[in-house]
Structure 1
Amino acid sequence: MKTRSAIQSFSLRSLALGIVMLAGAASGYVLTAVLLLCASSLLLRYLQDKHAHWRTLGVPSPPATLLVGHTLRRLGLSMPFMTFFDEMYNDYNGRDFCGYYDFLKPGLFIGNPELIKSILVKDFEHFSDRRTFDLGKVNPIANDMLTNATGAHWRLIRSVVSPAFTATKTRRLLPLMAQRAAHLTRLAMEEATKGPVEARALCGRYTMDSIASCAFGIECEALSSDAAAFPKMAAKIFQLSPARALKIVTLLVAPKLAQVVHKLGIDFTSPEFHFFRHVVSHTLRMREESGIRRGDFLDLMMETKANGKEGLSDNTMAAQAILFLLAGYDNTANTLSLALYLLAHHPEAQATLRRELAFAKLSRNGGELTHDHIMELPYLDAVVSETLRLYPAAPVIERICTKQYTIGGTSVTLERGQPVIIPVWNVHRDPRHWTDPLTFKPERFVGRAKDSIIPYSYLPFGQGPRSCIGLRFALLGIKVGLLHLLTAMEVKQSSSSVYPVPLDPKVLTLQPKDGIYVDLKPLEAGIQDAIKGEIDRYPPSGSYDKGLVRELEMFYATEDSNTILKTS
């Protein structure tokens, strides 16, 4: 009996102990769950507070995604970046200014031309740096590029590089560029016999050959080679693959992690970048060994170092060469091919341009145009300017606030390190600045119409000290290419093309998604007969065009009379 009682007592104690232990365990789980819930709530509140910065200042801002803010949309990873910019500009007061978030960091989106002027020029000292990645540990040469350099290092590079792009320097390059443009025309004649021509690929080969030869003395023969390694490698470097996007995000969010990953063997430098670095480094080494000089961009940088001045290291020189090759190739090829595409879809504008080019050549002895004459042709400049308005070389301009800045007339203050976006794409298409903004109208940039353009509403190459230093070179290449092509061929719409051209949402520049197709038709009977036919089909509409037609008719009438006299 006692034994049974003892057993029962032990069982009760065991049960009680078990209940106590279970209760303790349960309360531990509950406590843990409560703590996790509190921590999650605090984290959520913290993240929400970070994305409340602009709301507390009364600045409009689109709804931000938790943690990532607007980064994925801004980089075109979750939607085309143009779509996101349109939303910011039209729906959230981006025409003036509105807020956005790069992950948790607030940034400002500015579309007001007066504010743009302040950011880029008037108050430049507050915004002297572009957005950069610290690539020193993963790609030191890229870290030395002019676009990535900051502060005093940027000023040193700019002072050495800028003299290479003066009007005096680009004048000397006209004969070389004209040779490439003549070669381009011959190649275009051959391509025209095969059907629709993909203008982006054709122009890419021309611009790469021009840049490589004129700027760096590299004869890559891109126009002649079907393989065309330079254009292919340059095109690939702008493609935003998922792997490359992940690397960019890693550099943005966790640069220290990027360094660790790099040490483990993950290369943050693309194969295309390695290709161009090898080519430029080889060219520099050969010139140092041979002493051969061409008077080009590389020579200028090497001379600064040789003269004992504060020059650039070999890595920094290679960085500027690669930057110019890549940026110059993409922008020039894109603009030239888009100009051809727009002229194909607007034959009346093409007729006016051909009249101007023909008259310019006829009015010069031997038909040879100088650098200054080409650059000053009004309608040629207008066609290129209007192409750049619709498809700017820099669709987005970014700056970093380098010291605290208050937006004039407001209480909105930017802190050091906060980014600023200027949506050139939207400003160029704003009906407040441009009538019928989506229509191709070169006349906007001719005569008095050009004088009425609102300052800082036209920014294809940026403005201020950090604007594109190679714009003269790029414009010369585009204009010389158009001059040679349009005095030898007619550009017509292709059945393979869609208007307007669809843009690739996965590329951070304004590149066509499926290429740019046009039909090219040689002027078999000569430019004179072509112009006479176009005068009947596309009568002159403006005072400038009417003046061109009068001059051409007088010239052709005189020429025809002389022909009759000679044969009678």
Structure 2
Amino acid sequence: MAIYFLIGVATVAYCLYLYFTRTFNYWRSRNVAGPPPVPFFGNIKESVLRRKHFAIVLKDIYNAYPNEKVVGVYRMTTPALLIRDLDIVKQVMIKDFDNFPERGVEFDKDGLGANLFHADEALWRVLRNKFTPLFTTGKLKNMLHLMIDRSDDFIKYVENITRAQPEQEVFQLVQKFTIANISACAFGLDLDMTKEGDVQRKMRKIDKQIFTLNYAFELDMMYPGIISKIGTSLFPANIKRFFHDLVKQVVNVRKGEPTDRKDFMDLILELKREKQVHGAQRTKDEEKKSLELTEGIIAAQAFVFYAAGYESSATTMGFMLMQLAQNPEIQNKLAAEIKEVLRRHDDKVTYEALQDMTYLDRVFDETLRMYPVVDLILRKVVTDYKIPGSNAMLKKGQTVLISISGIHYDEEHWPNPLRFDPDRFSPENTANKHPAAYIPFGIGPRNCIGLRFAKVQSRVCMVQLLRRFRLLSTDHTRRDFHYDPRRIVLTPAGGFKIKLLPRE
């Protein structure tokens, strides 16, 4: 009996081995170079076991094949193609976008999956057509007063806490601003930064759940599309309830009509008057696509607007403060520009003043080059496609991957990439840069729709901080760190401490 049992176990183990390696000859049979996969895990074992961030795993693969235009990889057992060549990136993301219109990560549309980021092609085209005007210069100017008010409250808060303790963990600190600012600009909620109220506690819990990896992501890698097919979500049910309840509360308070706040919900309610929103017709023969703007659709957009505006902006600002504390000459140059520009604008933070701060733009651009917070571009091909200039042939439904960190740290595109140097982005240095060499917000028609909001929000906060505080490294300021492998975005494990002292 023992022998039969061992034979049975061995047989089952062998069958499982065959099953979990069944696809591993895919790229080799097509003469596409790539790292050897590990049974079950493919090429992402360190990420699946939460030992290393997925973005770093992908960057390591990018670096290991410097002479290849594309690299064949396996996300669990599923073949995918990592693109290294910038011309191919441009071809796929821009010129041949109609072949790659989807991100390839979908989930239950009733469970917030109908948001602009995760939506399939048909839904995305309708949403993008109607939501793009929400982020025009005029709309951002209308929201600016909300950002200024939040930043004034934030500075008072920072002044108060740094009197007693000048050394602060910067990522948690700037989250105080972004959570208050997103709450005001998106939902009309005026939160008190000095108190940890019920709404703040819920939002922090929601944020942790949204940006903490769960194994639904790996399941969807192994069986692409299964999350959507079985009608479940990538996120816990309480997140759906939170945003549905929040939208319902705001709509009821405003009685379904826009107010004079000019925030995100006002803009949504203006659209809602149309009953249905329509996508643009690219050809006269194309069927006109329409969508009813239900509370569920609104909740899905509120979810993605909150997620993108709160965490990613706070993390970017945290990295920027970290670098400025370690590079005092850059910090002093930036503080001098802020002082001079504000002097010309009657000491007021206006939209025009922000536009005049060109060195501030360079500092932000260099921060996002070194720390592209959302460090992966993923696209699903909707038809069989031959990658130009390579042996790689993609089948319908397969995905391509782009490592933003891989490109941003490639010495061929960015010499001495470990050095923080905002002057990389001076007009003379960027004049002849390849359009795909710098892509922190993505590239092509499906890039980040909220990038302009993120830029304005972050610049307001940084201007207010740097005009009043000097940033210093301390004995507790770590010179190295690793990214938290459990987080979706690039976040330093354990945070980062610096000292904030009044300028005058």
Fold similarity call, TM over 0.5: yes
Give CA deviations for 1:278-322 in whole Å, capped at 9, x if unaligned. 222321233235764533222222222313442422101111011
Distance 1:349 1:396 in 2: 29
What is the aligned counterpart of 1:233 among 180, 205, 212? 205
Q: Is the 8 A contact 1:356 1:379 kept in 2?
A: yes
Give the structure, 1 or 2, with the largest relative contact order (CA under 8 Å, sep 6 or more): 2
Query: Alpha-carbon deviation of 1:62?
Result: 1.4
- Alpha-carbon RMSD: 3.0
What is the aligned counterpart of 2:73 among 100, 111, 119? 100
Q: Is the 8 A contact 1:343 1:349 kept in 2?
A: yes
Amino acid at match of 1:397: I
Query: Alpha-carbon deviation of 1:434?
Result: 0.8
Query: Alpha-carbon deviation of 1:462?
Result: 0.5
Instruction: Report the counterpart of residue 295 of structure 1 in structure 2.
Output: 262
Change (3 A) 1:197 1:399: same
Query: Alpha-carbon deviation of 1:369?
Result: 4.1
Instruction: Report the counterpart of residue 125 of structure 1 in structure 2.
Output: 98
Give CA deviations for 1:168-197 in whole Å, capped at 9, x if unaligned. 211112222112112211111112123211
Change (3 A) 1:234 1:511: farther
Q: Is the 8 A contact 1:215 1:296 kept in 2?
A: yes
Query: Alpha-carbon deviation of 1:459?
Result: 0.5
Q: Is the 8 A contact 1:146 1:154 kept in 2?
A: yes
Instruction: Report the counterpart of residue 91 of structure 1 in structure 2.
Output: 64
* SS class of match (2:254): helix
Amino acid at match of 2:272: K
Deviates more, 1:344-353 or 1:371-380: 371-380
Q: Is the 8 A contact 2:77 2:222 kept in 1?
A: no
Instruction: Report the counterpart of residue 274 of structure 1 in structure 2.
Output: 241
Distance 2:122 2:386 in 1: 24
Instruction: Report the counterpart of residue 177 of structure 2 in structure 1.
Output: 206
Change (3 A) 1:44 1:521: closer
Change (3 A) 1:288 1:355: same
Does residue 1:384 correspond to 2:364, yes or no? yes
Does residue 1:155 correspond to 2:125, yes or no? yes
Instruction: Report the counterpart of residue 395 of structure 1 in structure 2.
Output: 375
Change (3 A) 1:381 1:256: closer
Distance 1:332 1:287 in 2: 28
Contiguous gaps of at least 5 residues in structure 1? 1-24, 525-568
Distance 1:95 1:410 in 2: 9
Distance 2:228 2:118 in 1: 17
Distance 2:361 2:68 in 1: 28
Q: Is the 8 A contact 1:142 1:148 kept in 2?
A: no
Give CA deviations for 1:394-425 in whole Å, capped at 9, x if unaligned. 21111111111111122321111111110001
Amino acid at match of 1:355: A
* SS class of match (2:382): coil
Give CA deviations for 1:99-118 in whole Å, capped at 9, x if unaligned. 11123321001122111111
Give CA deviations for 1:460-491 in whole Å, capped at 9, x if unaligned. 11111111111111111111111111111111
Distance 1:291 1:92 in 2: 54
Q: Is the 8 A contact 1:76 1:506 kept in 2?
A: no
Change (3 A) 1:368 1:80: closer
Query: Alpha-carbon deviation of 1:501?
Result: 4.0
Q: Is the 8 A contact 1:375 1:479 kept in 2?
A: no
Distance 1:231 1:326 in 2: 10
* SS class of match (1:50): coil
Does residue 1:428 correspond to 2:408, yes or no? yes
* SS class of match (1:392): coil
Instruction: Report the counterpart of residue 188 of structure 1 in structure 2.
Output: 158
* SS class of match (2:164): coil
Percent sequence identity over matched residues?
28
Q: Is the 8 A contact 2:247 2:295 kept in 1?
A: no
What is the aligned counterpart of 1:356 among 337, 351, 354? 337
Query: Alpha-carbon deviation of 1:256?
Result: 6.3
Instruction: Report the counterpart of residue 147 of structure 2 in structure 1.
Output: 177
Give CA deviations for 1:431-457 in whole Å, capped at 9, x if unaligned. 111111011111111231232433211
Instruction: Report the counterpart of residue 288 of structure 2 in structure 1.
Output: none
Does residue 1:474 correspond to 2:454, yes or no? yes
Does residue 1:248 correspond to 2:221, yes or no? no
Instruction: Report the counterpart of residue 337 of structure 1 in structure 2.
Output: 318
Q: Is the 8 A contact 1:403 1:415 kept in 2?
A: yes
Change (3 A) 1:276 1:369: same
What is the aligned counterpart of 1:220 among 180, 191, 201? 191
Does residue 1:455 correspond to 2:435, yes or no? yes
Distance 2:94 2:328 in 1: 39
Give CA deviations for 1:491-541 in whole Å, capped at 9, x if unaligned. 1113222124432122121112111211000022xxxxxxxxxxxxxxxxx
* SS class of match (1:439): coil
Amino acid at match of 1:101: Y
Amino acid at match of 2:489: T
Amino acid at match of 1:245: N
Question: May I ask how many residue pairs the two structures share in their alignment?
Answer: 486
Give CA deviations for 1:133-175 in whole Å, capped at 9, x if unaligned. 3324xxx232111111112111111122111111221111222
Amino acid at match of 1:177: M
Amino acid at match of 1:473: F
